Amino acid sequence: MKDQITPCLWFDHQAEEAARFYTSVFRNSKIDNISYYGSEGQEIHGQKEGTVLTVNFQINGQKFMALNGGPVFQISEAVSFMVNCDTQEEIDYYWEKLSDVPEAEQCGWLKDKYGVSWQIIPTVLGELMSDAERAPRVMKAFLQMKKFDIEKLKQA
């Protein structure tokens, strides 16, 4: 059942730009192929013939598709992608590269310049939250954070 589910991100016209951005941020990532609208593009999605239709790309082996479908649908916070980080350096790296909407930052969540929401999560959080005595303190600590601070979570 390999490759059974491939997330598809709908963009107005930024599919290739977004795919190139994501593959530059994440290691072990690549663009697999790009398809283009034919003459029916204008009629179907308001796109000119020869413009990018889809971009198939991978982030760490996870396949994605970016689609230029026009302004009919918008990306929302209802879907986010979780990035599990082992170190504070990883958290800082992804936060710096991806965060573009400071007012959207909370509890490890951020929004990038394309409107895609990401959760930049320390892998240790699951362990900290599974300790029934410690979990309320950890939750209280992270509810006050925008970007997670691993040391402060461990101290909670």
Arch. (CATH architecture) of 80-155: Roll (3.10)
**pLDDT, tens digit, for every residue of 30-51?**
999 999 998 876 666 677 889 9
Which one of 3.40.47.10, 3.30.720.100, 3.30.200.20, 3.40.140.10 gives the CATH number of domain 8-68? 3.30.720.100
What's the pTM? 0.91
Note the pLDDT of residue 48.
83
* 117-122 and 80-85 strand pairing: parallel
Q: What letter would DSSP give residue 79?
A: S
